[in-house]
Structure 1
Amino acid sequence: MKKSLYRLMLELTHNPLYNVMLKKAATHRWSRAFIPSFSKTFNINTDEVARQQSEFHHLNDFFSRELKEGSRPVSQDVHEIVSPVDGVLAEVGDITDKTLMHIKQKPHSLETMLGLKSAVNTYLGGKYYVFYLSPKDYHRIHAPYAGHVRRRWALGRYSEPVNHLGFYFGQEPLATNYRLITEYETAKQRFAVVKIGALNVNSIHLSHTGSYSQKGEEMGYFSFGSTVVLLFQQDTVKLAQWIIDANKHDLPIKQGETIGSWIKQEETSS
């Protein structure tokens, strides 16, 4: 019952006024009283949380909690790409020649998502990964690979809920919601991290504004549950074997786990 109530509060709303009220309630000091209940309801592992529950200022502060150092080991293999978040790997697929991504069996326009024709051309024919974060998940976002920041931009205004009802009733929630996009450049490839809001414009916060990110370095965080989409260029990445073997959607995943690897030059020429 409590879990359903919390999910309803945090996910199922199309009313901007309700969003404002929810934000005020979750950031008010009296909301600290709900932290133990929230933590118990979603079975959150408090042993890995960097602070004690009594040290958080309000419920939203706990929602965007940081973890103790070393809680999420990151692969140091120079060829491997890692998950940017905790949550579920909801979808993996190809970006077709019609610039579409079929997510939850619904077409999403890459051009609408990115807003820049040059960016669309960059990732046409490539691969996408979709990560969904539920209320229980660690909500910090980390770089999936090391690279120089080529550009950052924001799009969208009001956000629809990014969950099953949002996909059912919304038009293209992952392509039209408020989103912050960071495009990285490595020695030979580009990739983009699309951070997508679930409730309102202020649900995404940048904590890294530098020109370079190390693999696994924190980029920002969500103050409400949301989604991250990774985009890769054509013929640059291959899926991790465990994802291929699973052969299904909604795979539980932790930040730092390997999700793929760069295709070596000899593999593309063979």
Structure 2
Amino acid sequence: MIQGFYRLLIELTNGRWTSGILRRFARSRASRFVVPSFAKIYHLNQEEMEKGLSEYPTLHDLFVRTLKKEARRIDKSHDVVVSPVDAVIEDVGPIKESSDIIVKGKTYSIQEMLGERELLAKYLNGTYMILYLSPSHYHRIHSPVDGIVTKQWTLGGKSYPVNKLGLKYGVRTLAKNYRVITEVKTEFGHVAVVKVGAMFVNSIETTHKGSELVKGGELAYFSFGSTVVLLFERNIFQIDSTLNTPKEIKVGERLGILRK
């Protein structure tokens, strides 16, 4: 019963018109009046922001804020994979031979998530990691590795919530939501960075230029809380032994190592 109600609520509130209304408000000058209360409710760390709170003319500008250069330290060790976002690590696990992953007791298809059958084989028996961004998090996405972009593509339409309730009661949220996928070739193998849109606001803006990625360099930003899924080719990734889930993590902090 709860599941049915939740799905109905999502369908009623996640249409083009409701998304458009929220997007227009967040980008309007009128939204500046809620910037202080938003920062207070979500306990934003104003000390690390590049600008003072009064300098954000809209709620959208606050969502996509940049940080002071010294606010995040990137682990530059050659073989280290770093977090691409400030987030909560919600889940880590193996990608089955069937292409399935199990998240919060639900089964998702990596094949459906990628939408590219010819790319799938290399990720079977690999590793996935799910990083959830709440509205309180810094919304810019950075490269977790050094490498070359081999392909980038967009899939999906509507977006369902990707928080704990969304993963539990939603319908294939990680594989069905609007998403922008960047596949990166490293000297160790391939890594896919799947940027998944959240409820109401699908906006994922790509900011990197060219094909070369430097670890810690900016890739894109979300206009609201959302999720990043990392997919690692089989036999190339070893998670850091100190990581447990759920765990808060920041951009540039160590997730694990790549190996040949």
What TM-score, normalized by structure 1, do the two folds share? 0.89
**8 Å contact from structure 1 (residues 101, 108) kept in 2:** yes
Q: Does 1:112 align with 2:112?
A: yes
Q: Alpha carbon RMSD of aligned pairs, Å?
A: 1.4
Shift of 1:196: 0.4
Q: 1:98-140 CA distances to partner (integer Å, 9 max, x unpaired)?
A: 1001112110001100000122112111001100000100000
Structure 1 runs of 4+ aligned residues shifted over 3 Å read none
Match in the other structure for 2:172 = 172
Q: Secondary structure at the residue paired with 2:69?
A: coil
**8 Å contact from structure 1 (residues 92, 129) kept in 2:** yes
Q: Secondary structure at the residue paired with 1:70?
A: helix
Shift of 1:163: 1.7
Q: 1:189-234 CA distances to partner (integer Å, 9 max, x unpaired)?
A: 1111000001357411101131111000000000011000000011
* CA distance in 2 between partners of 1:24 and 1:178 (Å): 19
* CA distance in 2 between partners of 1:13 and 1:101 (Å): 28
* CA distance in 2 between partners of 1:129 and 1:202 (Å): 21
Q: Cα–Cα, structure 1 residues 123 and 97, in superposed 2: closer, same or farther, change >3 Å?
A: same
Q: Cα–Cα, structure 1 residues 133 and 52, in superposed 2: closer, same or farther, change >3 Å?
A: same
**Amino acid aligned to 1:261:** I
Of all paired residues, the percent bearing the same amino acid is 42
The number of equivalent residue pairs is 249
Match in the other structure for 1:5 = none
Match in the other structure for 2:229 = 229
**8 Å contact from structure 1 (residues 184, 191) kept in 2:** yes
Q: Does 1:258 align with 2:258?
A: no
Shift of 1:184: 0.5
Q: Cα–Cα, structure 1 residues 201 and 26, in superposed 2: closer, same or farther, change >3 Å?
A: closer
Matches within 5 A, 1:77-96: 77-96=77-96
Single out whichever of 202-211 and 151-160 deviates more from structure 2: 202-211
**Amino acid aligned to 1:196:** V
Match in the other structure for 1:64 = 64
**8 Å contact from structure 1 (residues 157, 200) kept in 2:** no
Any gaps of 5 or more consecutive residues in structure 1? 1-11, 266-270
**Amino acid aligned to 1:52:** G
What TM-score, normalized by structure 2, do the two folds share? 0.92
Any gaps of 5 or more consecutive residues in structure 2? 1-11
**8 Å contact from structure 1 (residues 178, 201) kept in 2:** no
Q: Secondary structure at the residue paired with 2:35?
A: helix
Shift of 1:13: 4.0
* CA distance in 1 between partners of 2:38 and 2:188 (Å): 44
Single out whichever of 197-206 and 82-91 deviates more from structure 2: 197-206
**8 Å contact from structure 1 (residues 158, 201) kept in 2:** no
Match in the other structure for 1:186 = 186
* CA distance in 1 between partners of 2:75 and 2:42 (Å): 28
Shift of 1:144: 0.2
